Amino acid sequence: MTCEICPRRCKVDRKNNLGYCRAGKKVKIALVSLHKWEEPCLVGKNGAGTIFFSYCNLKCVYCQNYLISHEGFGAEIEIERLAEIFIEQEARGAANIELVTPTHYTKQICEAIDIAKNRGLTLPIVWNSNAYENLETLELLRGRVDIFLPDLKYFDDETAKILSNAPNYFEIATRAIKKMFELVGAAKFSGKNMIRGVIVRHLVLPNYRKDAIKLVDWLYETFGDEIYISLMNQYTPIYRAAEFKKISRALTTFEYKSVVEHAVKLGIKNCFVQIGKTADKNFIPDFNLSGI
């Protein structure tokens, strides 16, 4: 079977060959954790039940998780084991099962979700992705995923090509986010915890605040307050960022505040912002194979 799971449509047989993302047939993960640094509605009392998958179908030159996304660090596991991990996360008191960069393992994850739910898993499933996804792949998640947590990285496609080697990123990602909203609808909560809905993240990049403002405009014009927006100031110039002049420095307070203030002027009600110093390597997960 050839792989067309993402917009790259490499058409390789992953049993024998590797495509753009470099992922094989088996699921590979680098960390299972309770993560308390996500949006407040996702962490609950003990943290989001994050599972970090190895490899990625983007090649962001500033990726803070490059050790797993680019270099492929991690351990291969069977689908049965992945289902067990979901159940173990619930036993640990996780607020949800958060699948981080999962797109290239969609079919295997769907199988694991079905197994785990048949064994009593009740937690909401969170799909934390880069939004560079095919609609037919997202359709497989209908009835399986409860919360979508996509990035919306770029408005300008030339920037997307330079920084992530992602042709037609805006068209593909916005179409995917519309599909995500179709699948789960407007946000729903149980107490303070989101149990269904869409949160779109945008990491504001240095020298790209105008691009960020255009993305905020599109999101609000398209969805109003039926989704949540998460504006992030935690950009850290890491990995190959020094090779690209515009993103070789940290984000300034002015750049970030101007994007937040624009969101306020628009009248956006459902928007998370970050306060204080978050651009720190200490916030990068320690990919130590824990929980695998």
Render pLDDT for 30-77 as a digit per residue (tens, 0 to 9): 999 999 989 999 999 999 999 999 999 999 999 999 999 999 999 999
Token digits of residue 224? 């109003």
Q: 105-132: per-residue pLDDT in tens? A: 999 999 999 999 999 999 999 999 999 9
Q: What is the pLDDT of residue 262?
A: 98
Predicted confidence (pLDDT) at residue 278 exceeds the cutoff of 70 = no
Residue 231 bridge partners (DSSP): 202, 273
Strand, coil or helix: what is 30? strand
Is the separation of the CB atoms in 33 and 287 below 8 Å?
Answer: no
**Pairing of the two strands 228-232 and 188-190:** unpaired
What does the pLDDT read at residue 284?
Answer: 79
Choose between 211 and 275: higher pLDDT.
211
Query: What is the 3-state secondary structure of 266-289?
Result: HCCCCEEECCCCCCCHHHCCCCCC
CB atoms within 10 A of CB 242: 13
As a whole number of angstroms, the distance between CA 155 and CA 169 comes to 8
Residue 202 pLDDT:
98
What tokens does 138 get? Answer: 């997202």
- Looking at every residue in the chain, the average pLDDT score rounds to 96
Structure tokens given for 209: 């605040």
Q: What CA–CA distance (Å, rounded) separates 78 from 76? A: 7
**In whole angstroms, what is the distance from residue 122 CA to residue 266 CA?**
37
Three-state DSSP class for 61?
coil
pLDDT at 283: 66
Reduced to 3 states (helix: H, G, I; strand: E, B; else coil), residue 11 is coil
pLDDT > 90? residue 275: no
Backbone angles phi, psi at 197, to 5 degrees: 140, -170
**Residue pLDDT, tens place only, 279-290:** 556 667 889 998
Provide the pLDDT for residue 286: 87
What average pLDDT does the segment 240-262 reach?
97
State the average pLDDT over residues 158-181: 98
Question: What's this model's pTM, rounded to 2 decimal places?
Answer: 0.96
Between CA 177 and CA 230 the distance in angstroms is 14
What residue has token string 């997202």?
138
Q: What is the mean pLDDT of residues 165-193?
A: 97
Q: Percent of the chain scored above 70 by pLDDT? A: 97
Q: Which domains does the chain have, with CATH numbers?
A: 27-283 (3.20.20.70)
